[in-house]
Each structure stands twice: as C-alpha cells, then as structure tokens.
Amino acid sequence: MREAVYRSRASQAVSTLLKQGAAPKLGQCGLGERAAVVLDLDAKGRELFERLWSVELGEVELARIRGVMREWIEEQDAMDRTRNHFLKAFRKEHGFDRTKYTAAESAEYDAGLERIAREEDAARRAAAGRLVEG
C-alpha cells in the first residue's frame, strides 16, 4: 500500500510542479489539488502483490483490488494534508525553530504528530484488511 502511495505521490509532485512552473503559489501545501493515483506496479510492488495473491485473479477481483487501492491512495492524500496543515498552523503560531519551543509547546507538537500517526496507522490497517479480505 505504501508503494502505491509513493508512486502516486511522485506522479503528483511532477504534475504539481508542471502546473505551477518555477515558482509555487503562496499558501499552497505543495500536494496539488487532489490525489494522483498510480496503480501500475514497479518490481517491488509486483513482488509484494505476488506474495499476497499467489493464484491467478479474475477481472472482478482485480477491479476490487484496484478500487481498494484507489480509495487508500486518496485517503492517504487526505491524511498527508491533515499533517501538513497541522505543521503549518503550529509553525505559524510557534515558529520553525523547535529548539526555541517551550516544554509545553514541544509536548503539544509531539502529541499532535503522534495523534495523526495513530489515525494513519489505524486507517492503513483497515484498508489492508479490506484489501486482503476480499
């Protein structure tokens, strides 16, 4: 699942850069307008796919798997935006230099990122369950 997100994110980055030109627009989080979805597999992705599904899959099952992966990539994109917006807001309020944060600010920063990471882990486990339960 991460492999698909990484490949999609690379496509999204190229697309965003081409649309923005040399100077990105101020105020944008850098992820573009929406998730890019790349479902073709590289060598690592094919290896992982073959480990999970060692039997020949029919078109219906392949379509279901593609649908779950598309949903996951879009969900991961939304979670990345949540993390980026948290970081942007926190840094706007407290600055970029973490060495200058108070103990309370550092704790708030860490707690915010940990909360987002826990939510992402739970969502990834749920998506993985949907992927293999079929």
Distance separating alpha carbons of residues 134 and 54, to the nearest angstrom: 14
DSSP label at residue 37: -
Instruction: Tell me what pLDDT residue 99 has.
Output: 95
Q: How many domains does the chain have?
A: 1
User: Which domain does 66 fall in, by range?
Assistant: 2-133
Instruction: Tell me what pLDDT residue 108 has.
Output: 98
Region 60-80: mean pLDDT is 89
Please choose, from the candidates 67, 85, 63, 87, the residue with its C-alpha nearest in 3D space to the C-alpha of residue 75: 67
- Coil/strand/helix, residue 35: coil
Instruction: Tell me what pLDDT residue 22 has.
Output: 52
**Vertex 71, ends 41 and 116: CA angle to 5°?**
105
